[in-house]
Amino acid sequence: MKYVVTGCAGFVGSNLTDRLLADGHEVVGYDNFSTGRMAFLSQALDHKRFRLVRGDVLDLGDLTAAVAGADVVMHLAANADVRFGTDHPRRDLEQNTIATWNVLEAMRQGGVKRIGFSSTGSVYGEPQVFPTPEDAPFPVQTSLYGASKAAGEALIAAYCTGFAMRGCIFRFVSILGERYSHGHVFDFYKQLLDHSGQLHVLGNGQQRKSYLYVQDCLDAMLLAMDRSSGPVDVFNLGTDEYCTVNDSIGWITGQLGLRPAVTYAGGERGWIGDSPFIFLHCGKIRKLGWAPKFTIKQGIERTLQFLQKNPWILERK
């Protein structure tokens, strides 16, 4: 099959690109390299079935040309940083909502009928039900990131209904693994490289979060795309466990052999719009036969190994 992967030079996008190529598919990768890294595509670029298009998801013309003739678009390009939304309030709207509309419109113009979308557990805002199922009560958004992804989901569902497309929407917990390049493991590791005896934590360290290893995430996405039948299918993707920020600190410092003094900014939330508890009910994807092969602890350890082996990733792009 012929796939287009938007955000092909990103963390999840580049891993997906490699996987699709390994599975025998043709892949058109689309990225503007604003946060993506060419180094993540080193394997893909050696591949005959891969074609790279340097383009912006805000450019409908380029996008329409890129998706022409594809069977499936995996739309992973995004502003993936939940934390700094209020510093640049238009970024999430543009990168996650308008960009998703552009992808859908490019598909409609090119007659491409299938889409997979990387959404987020943040669309549940601060849920009342744990683990949170896909049909949780209609959420009230608490972050610009969550709002912009919820909007992207809504557009996909409307396009699927209106134009006889088929879509799978994946609500990720935080993803870990090789090529991980932002998030708390990254921040903590960077701090500990700078000053091994000291670690500063946003919030009170009691925030409960859930994580999933990137290869487990890809297994789930591809299985769901294969098996889903409805016009729009929504899947939570996560492990059946969660950990506290303090658990995570214990694993990270343990692996590094450090015992830093930990200070806390305080408060239940790491920042405005941070959800103090993320734990998704993943029974729907498990019913299709999927189960994660890695625990959260293993995912964090692999992430840390990746960061240790790739010090260049810590430099600001």
Q: Are 142 and 125 in contact (CB under 8 A)?
A: yes
Q: CB of residue 168 vs a copy of itself: minimum separation in angstroms? A: 12
Task: Determine if 154 is a binding residue for a copy of itself (CB under 8 A).
Answer: yes
Position 229 contacts a copy of itself (CB under 8 A): no
Look-up of token digits 């088929």 = 166
CB of 39 to a copy of itself, least distance (A): 34
- Which residue in the set 89, 257, 289, 311 belongs to the binding site for a copy of itself (CB under 8 A)? 89
Among 157, 223, 256, 262, binds a copy of itself (CB under 8 A): 157
- List, in sequence order, every residue forming a beta bridge with 74; answer none if it has no partner: 5, 116
Residues in the chain: 317
* Angle at alpha carbon of residue 282, lines to 278 and 283, rounded to 5°: 145
232 contacts a copy of itself (rule: CB under 8 A): yes
Kindly state whether residue 161 participates in binding a copy of itself, applying the rule CB under 8 A.
yes
- Per CB under 8 A, the segment of 65-73, 148-156, 194-202, 217-225 that binds a copy of itself is 148-156
Q: List residues with catalytic annotation.
A: 145
Choice between 153 and 178, CB closer to a copy of itself: 153
Give the burial string for 37-48 (b: 16+ CB within 10 Å, else e).
Answer: beebbeebeeee
Gap between the Cα atoms of 275 and 103, Å rounded = 29
Binding mask 264-283 for a copy of itself (x = CB under 8 A): --------xx----------
- Distance separating alpha carbons of residues 19 and 222, to the nearest angstrom: 10
Smallest separation, CB 230 to a copy of itself (Å): 9
C-alpha dihedral, 58 to 7 to 168 to 145, nearest 10°: -70
Considering only CA atoms, which of 228, 166, 215, 298 is closest in space to residue 22? 215
Interface with a copy of itself, residue 129, by CB under 8 A = no
Give residues in contact with a copy of itself (CB under 8 A). 85-86, 89-90, 93, 97-98, 101, 104-105, 108, 124-125, 134-144, 146-148, 150-151, 153-155, 157-159, 161-163, 232, 234, 272-273
